[in-house]
Amino acid sequence: MSPSDLLAFDQKHIWHPAQQMKDGEVFPPIIIDHAQDCYLYDVNNKEYIDIISSWWCNLLGHCHPEINAALKAQLDKVEHVIFANFSHRPALNVCQKLLPYLPQGLTRFQFCDNGSSAVECALKLAFQYQLQTGRGQRKKYMCLDSAYHGETIGALSVGSMDLYTSLYKPLMMNNIHFDGLDCYRCPYGKTRTACNCECFESAEKAFSRYGKETVAVIVEPLLQGAAGMRMYPPAYLKKLRRLCNAYDVLLIDDEIAAGFGRTGTMFAIEQAGVTPDILCTSKGLTGGYLPMALTITTEKIYQAFYADYGEHKAFMHSHTYAGNPLACTAAATVLTIIKRDHILSHAATKGAYLHTCLKERLGNHKNVGEIRHLGMINAIEIVKDRKTKEAFSPSQRIGWHIFRQAMQHGLVLRPIGDILYFNPPLIMKEETLAAAVDICAATIETVLGS
């Protein structure tokens, strides 16, 4: 099929995720032909910088020769096998290589096949643990305002973003949502670097009212990604851990977006020095190659399920593609490369470089409210008025117009509302980062003036 036939077929048959398909009339899908390093190439061979890591999952660049070779070798051994009652080297390799990076005490791995299913697994695991340790009256979960944990009904029920949840509320569990964490518009007038997490009082209120009915609280550590790359201090997580201990509420750490070095450490919660009861990871786990997720927990929780068959305490949860050997091979290879090539420390240097470039180019722009960063992630909050922090009306779709413009210049700057963000593969070179900043700045100036 020619490029125009491909597009016509796509528009006739494909229903793309998370977008109004009618937008395709003015902004049709880009049909990608191949990819290399941090670049995507469409069917007309136009090049794009993949500054969002293909939905935050690509870690080491596209078509990485070492990951490709490992996958090709695994293909000739075994492509898939049921994971109930069976095991294999790639799965064991992943766990062995991941263990040294995990918060102390997390030792038991459940394999899932995407982020939402890892969250579902965590919610069920937590409920059953409470039930089997004498706290069966607990049926609620707690989550934060603007939280995002995936799209399945259970995961949506612990999410608070109206954009995704409001329509489905009649189907959702009745959970407890408490507010906090908008550091850019802090209601206490504090700054991210000089606060005592005053907003934590809403968590304390929620726990004192509902703590004894609650199974678990789920949190995106340090970074609420889908809410607009909102960043908050580690002290919040320390406080949350203490509160969970006081009320026997389990702490679920959703590292699906934040994990694998995105925030400067392998897992974001490391920066708070606490261990969650359950940790979910996905996205970067396979370097963006194949769907896979892990829900990782403690020996203490595992032991509450370990019993004679007749006691019916087993965790009856499964996914067909759990522990897929190809996905595990990609993950194990990613972990080898991260360690051998010191990817995390290089990423920290590049994250700081990127932040400096953005500040220099855009720090004084009239519509740039804040440029925040954590590890390699840099986010630019576009506002109507930087003094009052007033946002543009959503109907103006400023972020979307900037996105369209940036695509014309070869940069995948897919925004969240009016928040533009850079979440590049950790190996992106400084010259590519600088080129991306140039396109971003020029595009903002085209859409909003200088």
Ligand X SMILES: Cc1ncc(COP(=O)(O)O)c(C=O)c1O
DSSP 411: B
| Residue closer to ligand X (CB basis): 237 or 368 | 237
Residue 149 beta carbon to ligand X: minimum distance, rounded to whole angstroms: 5
277 binds ligand X (CB under 6 A): no
Listed residue (357, 446, 291) closest to 51, CA to CA:
357
CB 249 within 8 Å of CB 216: yes
Q: Which tokens is 49 given?
A: 């910088």
Phi, psi of 32 (to 5 degrees): -85, 135
Looking at beta carbons only, is 52 or 382 nearer to ligand X? 52
- Nearest approach in angstroms of CB 228 to ligand X is 12
- CA 380 to CA 358: how far, in whole Å? 9
User: Is 238 annotated as contributing to ligand binding?
Assistant: no
Rule CB under 6 A: choose which of 257, 327, 343, 380 binds ligand X.
257
- Bridge partners, 418 (sequence order): none
148 near ligand X, judged by CB under 6 A: yes
Please give the full DSSP string across 366-388, using - where no structure is assigned: TTEEEEEEETTEEEEEE-SBTTT
Footprint on residues 407-436 left by ligand X (CB under 6 A): none
Instruction: Specify which residues 420 forms β-bridges with.
Output: 380
The mark string for 163-202 relative to ligand X (x by CB under 6 A, - otherwise) is ----------------------------------------
Cα 96 to Cα 324: distance, rounded to the nearest angstrom: 16
Considering only the stretches 63-71, 148-156, 357-365, 366-374, report the one whose residues sit in contact with ligand X under the rule CB under 6 A. 148-156
Residue with Cβ nearer ligand X (162 or 201): 162
Query: Are residues 392 and 418 in contact, defined by beta-carbon separation less than 8 angstroms?
Result: yes
CA-closest candidate to residue 255, choices 281, 237, 275: 281
Nearer to ligand X, 119 or 447 (CB): 119
Partners of 47 in beta bridges: 41
**Burial class, 424, CB count within 10 angstroms (exposed 0-12 / middle 13-18 / buried 19+):** buried
395 annotated ligand binder? no
Residues 98-137 that bind ligand X (CB under 6 A): 114-116, 119
Instruction: Tell me if 138 is assigned to a ligand binding site.
Output: no
Q: Which of 42, 120, 220, 370 binds ligand X (CB under 6 A)?
A: 220
Q: Is 283 annotated as a binding residue?
A: yes
Among 221, 225, 287, 369, binds ligand X (CB under 6 A): 225
**Which amino acid, residue 145?**
D
Binding-site residue total for ligand X (CB under 6 A)?
14
Q: Whose CA is closest to 108, among 261, 299, 309?
A: 299
Q: Could you say whether residue 94 binds ligand X (CB under 6 A)?
A: no
Contact with ligand X (CB under 6 A): which of 282, 286, 324, 443? Answer: 282
Q: State the minimum distance, in angstroms, from the CB of residue 442 to ligand X.
A: 29
Residue from the set 138, 149, 361, 365 that interacts with ligand X by CB under 6 A: 149
Residues 299, 129 contacting (CB under 8 angstroms): no
From residue 350, give the alpha-carbon distance in Å to each of 33, 43, 325: 29, 31, 33
| CA proximity to 326, closest of 384, 374, 287 | 287
Residue nearest ligand X, CB atom distance = 115
Position 262 contacts ligand X (CB under 6 A) = no
Burial bucket for residue 69 (CB in 10 Å: 0-12, 13-18, 19+): exposed
Q: Is 393 marked as a binding-site residue?
A: no
* Nearest CB to ligand X, comparing residues 114 and 128: 114
Residue showing tokens 């403690």: 298
Nearer to ligand X, 42 or 254 (CB): 254
How far apart are CB 434 and ligand X at their closest, in Å? 27
Smallest separation (angstroms) from ligand X to the CB of 341: 25
Our finding on whether 254 is near ligand X (CB under 6 A) is yes
Task: Classify each residue of 192-211 as buried b or exposed e, where b means 16 or more C-beta atoms within 10 Å of its C-beta.
Answer: eeebebebbebbeebbeebb
CB 414 → ligand X: shortest distance, Å? 12
Q: Give the residues lining the site for ligand X (CB under 6 A).
A: 114-116, 119, 148-150, 220, 225-226, 254, 256-257, 282
Annotated binding site for substrate: 55, 148, 283, 318, 414
Annotated binding site for pyridoxal 5'-phosphate: 115-116, 254, 319-320
